[in-house]
Structure 1
Amino acid sequence: METRPVISEFLGTLLLVFFAVGSAVLAGEYIGTLGIALAFGLVLLALAYALGPISGCHLNPAVTLGMFVAKRIDQRTAVAYWIAQVLGGIVGSALLFLLAKQVPGLKTSGAFGSNGYGDRSAVGINIFGALLAEIVLTFLLVYIVLAVTHKVAVLGFDGLPIGLVLAVIHLVGIPLTGTSVNPARSIGPALFAGGAALSQLWLFIVAPLVGGVLAALAIQFTHPRDAVRVPADEVAV
């Protein structure tokens, strides 16, 4: 397989984590939940236009799993993307950690943009609630990605709904779990936060993957592979 798509997934995930998670770590108290949500959505939107035609701009193992289950990519591509995404998330977190260390008084242990439940949740959501929230939120993200993309590539205005839905997902999810919906986004920060962030990390790997599989199954019923796209102005109401 080509190396360009794999490199794109690595670089894209690195940038997503550095800038989007960085908005929470470096500027969260100034921009608030809305600002962080917009940071995630806008960074993904920009990357979708830059990298979508090359790799599909998954930048998320749950999206890649959804593409695999929906039979849009093969196993070799999926595994290569997963490795690139996780490594990208870790390197992006390392760069963010290095930058955060240059800010006097900024705490880098404990939270560091990681996800959590219980006493690590802003609203104290329990483990079942966190699991359910992450599955449903990831379902929405992966479903939208599968619905608007042409096989794998993000073309034309495909990136707009993907960026918008990620922003909406973060508006809902930040108070609950900090919003993962992306194992690669969760693994990197947890490695540097340590402690409870690592012990709770399993949920933010498992739940998004389950949500991605469910979205791939659902898309078969609403958007079967042999269906012809109908322009919006021709849809019967």
Structure 2
Amino acid sequence: MSKTFIAEMIGTAILVLFGCGAAVLMGAEIGMTGIALAFGLAIVAAAYGIGPISGAHLNPAVSLGAFLAGRMSGAALASYVVAQLVGAVLGAAILYAIASGKAGYDIAVNGLGQNGYGAGYLGEYGLGSALIFEAVMTFLFVTVILGATQEGAPAELAGLAIGLTLAAIHLVGINVTGVSVNPARSFGPALFVGGKAMADLWVFIAAPLAGGALAGILHRAGVTRAA
């Protein structure tokens, strides 16, 4: 495995372990604001820790956006996505191993930070709301990432800008879908939880990829890129 593959795998595991871990292990204590910050801070940590190796995409929607923006090859895109999916499963597995050590924990009841929508899930928003939220927020997220990492942007601030953006997205939308904007982040927990989480997974693959693709296309066209 290449260094970039390993970096993306570890970084995505960090994102799932920190973000979903905050929800599963400390959600009652820190609330939605704390969970939002955990996701954002995980991105900041990964960006500065492994960013110099792989760019710290940690997200197939980000990698797709970078590919369509002309920043990476198709082969690199495939490698990144596989690494991200493996990392998400690894992070979810570690989280499950920790959570299951608590008396009374039941993955079917307590979950693993999986995404969802509809009856019985957080704010019980419908499918249309979930699709719109995930597509629009992923578009905005990937647009920020491509802008913050373009030539001429202050590279030392990119990780902070990206992490704060992800935290802000969570502050807006945890009650809607739990916030995915990342197919890998959704895949890891859903694989362990199964049932409705797996049935809903297509939303958190299709909508973020659509949003990320649009961000990449517009960036390459110069619409969202500095002259």
The residue correspondences of 1:102-181 to structure 2 (distance < 5 A) are 102-110=101-109, 111-150=111-150, 155-181=155-181
CA drift at 1:221: 3.1
Equivalent positions of 1:1-237 (< 5 A) are 3-110=2-109, 111-150=111-150, 155-219=155-219, 220-224=221-225, 227=227
Q: 1:64 to 1:154 in 2, by over 3 A?
A: farther
Secondary structure of 2:10's counterpart equals: helix
Give distance in 2, aligned partners of 1:80 and 1:35. 32
What is the alpha-carbon distance in structure 2 between the residues aligned to residue 23 and residue 154 of structure 1?
30
1:196 Cα deviation after fit: 0.5
| 1:95-141 C-alpha deviation (Å, 9 max, x unpaired) | 11111110112232253210111114322111111001100111111
Q: Distance in 1 between matches of 2:180 and 2:218?
A: 21
Retained in 2: the 8 A contact 1:12–1:57? Answer: yes
Q: Measured at CA, do residues 150 and 53 of structure 1 come closer, stay the same or move farther in structure 2, by a change above 3 Å?
A: farther
Give the superposed CA RMSD: 1.7
- Unpaired runs of 5+ in structure 1? 228-237
Separation in structure 1 between the aligned mates of residue 124 and residue 108 of structure 2, nearest angstrom: 20
1-structure distance, mates of 2:222, 2:125: 32
The 1-side partners of 2:94 and 2:179 are apart by: 21
Runs of 4+ in structure 1 off by over 6 angstroms are none
Over 3 Å counting, the alpha-carbon distance change for 1:119 and 1:142 in structure 2 is: same
Q: Tell me by how many angstroms 1:218 deviates.
A: 2.4
TM-score normalised by structure 1 residue count: 0.90
Note the C-alpha offset of 1:222: 3.1
1:173 is displaced (CA, Å) by: 1.4
**Distance in 2 of aligned mates of 1:113 and 1:120:** 14
Secondary structure of residue in 2 paired with 1:33: helix
Whole-Å separation in 2 of the counterparts to 1:19 and 1:204: 19
- How many residue pairs were aligned? 224
- How many Å separate the matches in 2 of 1:81 and 1:90? 14
Alpha-carbon distance in 1 for matches of 2:131, 2:154 = 29
TM-score, length basis structure 2: 0.94
CA contact (8 A) 1:57 1:154 kept: no
